[in-house]
Structure 1
Amino acid sequence: MSRTIKNQSVEQLGGSGSVLARQRREHEEMDRLMERYGALVDPGRRAAVLKQIVQLVFSHAFAEETVLWPAVRASVSDGGELTARVEEEHQQINDLVADIERLPAGDPGREDKVRRAFALIRQDIRDEEDLLLPRLQEAMTTGRLRALGTTWAAVRHTAPTHPHPVVPRRPPGNALLGIPLSAYDRLRDVLGIGGSASRGER
């Protein structure tokens, strides 16, 4: 019987290098940052935290879609159905955050979109930790989970950091576009320019 990875020990997850432990650590960081955003009042500090959330969420999701979900589809009997559900959530988050990045800070609809995006991120975390990742845990040895974690981390640290809604959710399309988009996003991060690439810029 599969069970959530939320309350398992690091050892049960396969050690700190396991893809399951790496996923959970970043999920916890996302939740911490969203809580912090909600507690802040100063617009400048809120904008800085939102930028952190966006960068983390999109690099994390790209590594999932490029490395982790193909492994789930190859190892879990209903992996296609499980990953399709999560990919749909990722697409909705992509679309919402792309809208957020296009809207000025004072726009009345912006905060509503932020709240909706945060709710979707939290739902996505629960679906992954309660439904999808436990199935992967059942299907893989500890050694395979650790090897997958190493590959996932390498992709995660070179992934795009902003939404790109028209990019495919699955390889090879997302992987082929990942390198130029990552360079584009990270240059914009360094220069302090927010926003996702438009279709024309790509």
Structure 2
Amino acid sequence: MTRSIAEQTVEELGGPDSVLARQRRDHVEMDRLMDRYRALEDGEERERVLKETVQLVFSHAFAEETVLWPAVRRSVPDGEELTSRVEEEHQQINDLVAGIERLAPGEPEREEKVRRAFALVQEDIRDEEDLLLPRLQEAVDTAQLRRLGAAWETVRRTAPTHPHPVVPRRPPGNALLGVPLSLYDRIRDALGRRGSKAA
């Protein structure tokens, strides 16, 4: 029986550079940010935490879709089915967060969308850690997990940081559109950060 990557040591995951360890670190940070958001009252800090959460979720998911899921489809017998399920979750999160970004802070509809998006992110984390990633771990060796980790990290650091619901979930479409969208998102993020410091 496969073990969730949440229950394994870093060494069992292939070391700190393994894609499994990198995934888990991001998942832990996502959970921490979502908990922090829920604990805060309305205000600038809460909005900053939400933006940080969104940026992490979208850069993480883009790297999964570009690097990790193709490897799962190649290596795991039912990889197509497993990745399709996660891609559907990613699309639902994408649509919800696009809606969140169109609404003003404090609007009841916005808070409901945030709640639903966070629930889907947590469901996505469980699907990945308990089902999909252990299957990849069984199918490839530690050296491959580390190579995937390096490629995944490179893509994550340059990935779009906001929802783009019309972008395809799979390469090559997502990769081709990812470069200009990443530049756009990072300019938008930088302008937003500068604006909030000046305020």
1:160 aligns with 2:160: yes
Which amino acid in structure 1 is aligned with residue 160 of structure 2? P
C-alpha separation in 2, matches of 1:76 and 1:42:
44
2:140 is matched with 140
In structure 2, the residue matched to 1:45 is 45
Q: What is the aligned residue count?
A: 193
2:160–2:178: 8 Å Cα contact kept in structure 1? Answer: yes
Aligned to 1:131: 131
Paired residue for 2:183? 183
Unaligned runs of 5+ in 1: 194-202
- Match of residue 99 from structure 1: 99
Q: 1:155 to 1:173 in 2, by over 3 A?
A: same
Residue 78 of structure 1 corresponds to: 78
Give the Cα separation in 2 of the matches to 1:9 and 1:108.
41
d(CA) in 2 for partners of 1:89, 1:42: 27
Cα-to-partner distance string for 1:1-55 (whole Å, 9 max, x where unaligned): 2111001000000000000000000000000000000001141111000000000
Distance 1:35 1:142 in 2: 32
* Normalised TM-score (structure 2): 0.96
Amino acid at match of 2:37: Y
Partner of 1:111: 111
Please, what is the CA RMSD of the aligned residues?
0.8
Query: Counterpart of 1:5?
Result: 5
What's the CA shift string for 1:146-190, capped at 9, x where partnerless? 011000000000000000000000000000001000000000000
**Following the alignment from structure 1 to structure 2, what is the Cα–Cα distance between the partners of residues 106 and 20?**
36
Q: Does 1:26 align with 2:30?
A: no
Contact 2:65-2:170 at 8 Å conserved across structures: yes
How far, CA to CA, are the matches of 1:10 and 1:50 in structure 2? 28
1:65 matched to 2:65? The reply is yes
Tell me the SS of whatever aligns to 1:192: helix
Partners of 1:42 and 1:102 in 2: CA distance: 17
Aligned residue number for residue 197 of structure 1: none
Give TM-score scaled by structure 1 length. 0.94
How far off is 1:75 after superposition?
0.1
Q: 3-state SS of the aligned residue for 2:7?
A: coil
Amino acid at match of 1:30: M
Distance in 1 of aligned mates of 2:39 and 2:11? 33
Matches of 2:169 and 2:28, distance apart in 1:
23
Whichever residue aligns with residue 36 of structure 1, its letter is R
Note the C-alpha offset of 1:61: 0.1
Runs of 4+ off more than 4 Å: none
